[in-house]
Structure 1
Amino acid sequence: MQTLGTLILLPVFLGLSFWQMERAAEKDHLLEAESAARHASPVPVDSLGPTDVPLHARASGRYDEHLFLLDNRVRDRRAGYEVLAPLRLADGAAVLVNLGWVAQGASREQLPTVEAPSGTVEVTGLAMTPEPPPFALSDRETFAPGWPKVVQTAVPATLEQELGYRLRPVVLYPDGSDVAAHKVKVMHDFGPSRHHGYAAQWFGFAVVLVIVYLWHGLHRGRQRRNEEWKQ
């Protein structure tokens, strides 16, 4: 049984270690792309498709009055929302712009009052494709009536179902905004070093497993020799 357990667990521990190393390499690539994007000239947002790395983009248009409140956003231990505003583009589509964080009301039923800037605006910032929420069984979400709408995901393909027009597959985080700074901070806080630590932890488990297996093997061998000597 011990041999079987070792044969099962050892590949699992090593596999998790290598997976964390791959995640660390991905985070390295992400942070390099974020640094490059901040120093690059912005590209038109309507030229972008889904992207795995941050890009510097620009968009101009007028904000739709229909806003989304991205739920479960915590700042300084206070619950709140991030405001997502569709910016209508010249081609009739729109791009979601993250206008920043607002505190939750006294209760979940009391939504904050939010408004987008009026008139024609030009926005430059980091463009990122949101990741779908973990364990999502469908790309559809049930929305309560009325606006603004509280949502659990910023995925454009999900939110455009309520708008009736197409959303670009990225969210813009405006240059110089608190929400953009927070996004970059989170990327660095959950950077490669954390994954390196997890990789070392799983590799350590594998080493301990092998040592314990060898020690038990030597111990059993010594016991058998002692029993044979007594006979």
Structure 2
Amino acid sequence: MRATRSWLAGLAAASGIAATTALGFWQLGRAQQKLALQASIEERRALAPLVQPRLDAIEDIAPVLHRRIELRGTWVPGRTVFLDNRQMQGRVGFYVATPLRLAGSGDTVLVQRGWAPRDFLDRQRLPAVQTPPGEVVVQGRIAPPPAKLYEFDGAGQGPIRQNLDLAGFRAETGLPLWEAGSVQQLGEASEGLSRDWPAPASGADKNYGYAAQWWAIAGVILILYVWFQFIAPRRRRFPRA
């Protein structure tokens, strides 16, 4: 019976060590993948900007994500959306997004123009954001659609919203909106907007931390196995005088 218990304990310990060690190496691999992706993003950001490309021909933004872009067009100010509960430099406010009708094609892209503070005394009051008339030139980078936050109610229809679905917004407005992504406007603060966007982070540090945790668990299993199977029985058989 004792030999059977010892064999089962050894099998359980070996399985636990193997599993946690493998999980640690899996997290290490994930970190390396994220670092490679981050390096690819940095290479794209260093490329010359795309100037007035045909966005409707870009169905998959992955190859051009975070690449700089220069667009000419006119704002559609009546369709500006204020995305609530968005942070910049630790302050809570709005991400302000306005469709830009591109010159020469009539296609439209959603531009995340920047961040504006909100009035916490009057939560329905819109910030003072200027939208220049006429043709403008927008310097920015290709970005995913605006990130979605948890929403208690259904999707809003007014200027202040928690989230914005591009396909739904296209159907709502009737604009030929590019659905694959959006553009984050870059540059100094202007028009009542800040543009200190957070730099995209790889998140590899988190995976390194998880890998260390899994390997630490493997070490604990090994120590406990050696203690209970070898050291503790020996101490019982040969107690100190």
Q: TM-score, normalised by structure 2?
A: 0.70
Distance 1:130 1:101, change over 3 A: same
Q: Which amino acid aligns with 1:59?
A: L
- Residue in structure 1 matched with residue 81 of structure 2 by the alignment: 68
Alignment equivalent of 1:101, drawn from 99, 112, 115: 115
- Residue in structure 2 matched with residue 40 of structure 1 by the alignment: 48
SS of alignment partner, residue 200 of structure 1 = helix
Deviations 1:55-96 (A, max 9, x none): 222322211121112222223432101111111234443111
Gaps of 5+ in 2: 1-7
CA contact (8 A) 2:83 2:95 kept: yes
**Are 1:213 and 2:225 counterparts?**
yes
Q: Which amino acid aligns with 1:22?
A: R
User: Which is worse superposed, 67-76 or 174-183?
Assistant: 174-183
Q: Which amino acid aligns with 1:19?
A: Q
Distance 1:199 1:97, change over 3 A: same
SS of alignment partner, residue 36 of structure 1 = helix
Deviations 1:116-163 (A, max 9, x none): 322112223210223764789xxxx833343x232325x533433432
How many pairs align?
217
* Distance in 1 (alpha carbons) for counterparts of 2:26 and 2:149: 22
**Are 1:110 and 2:121 counterparts?**
no
Distance 1:142 1:125, change over 3 A: same
* Distance in 2 (alpha carbons) for counterparts of 1:35 and 1:114: 33
Distance 1:135 1:72, change over 3 A: closer
**Are 1:88 and 2:101 counterparts?**
yes
* Distance in 1 (alpha carbons) for counterparts of 2:146 and 2:16: 32
Alignment equivalent of 2:59, drawn from 49, 66, 69: 49
CA contact (8 A) 2:146 2:163 kept: no
CA contact (8 A) 2:141 2:185 kept: yes
User: Which is worse superposed, 159-168 or 73-82?
Assistant: 159-168
* Distance in 2 (alpha carbons) for counterparts of 1:28 and 1:79: 32
**Are 1:182 and 2:197 counterparts?**
yes
CA contact (8 A) 2:27 2:207 kept: no
SS of alignment partner, residue 208 of structure 2 = helix
* Distance in 2 (alpha carbons) for counterparts of 1:180 and 1:31: 23
* Distance in 2 (alpha carbons) for counterparts of 1:17 and 1:133: 31
Q: Which has the larger radius of gyration?
A: 2
CA-atom RMSD in angstroms = 3.6
- Residue in structure 2 matched with residue 151 of structure 1 by the alignment: 162
Percent identity over the alignment is 24
Task: Tell me by how many angstroms 1:29 deviates.
Answer: 1.9
SS of alignment partner, residue 198 of structure 2 = helix
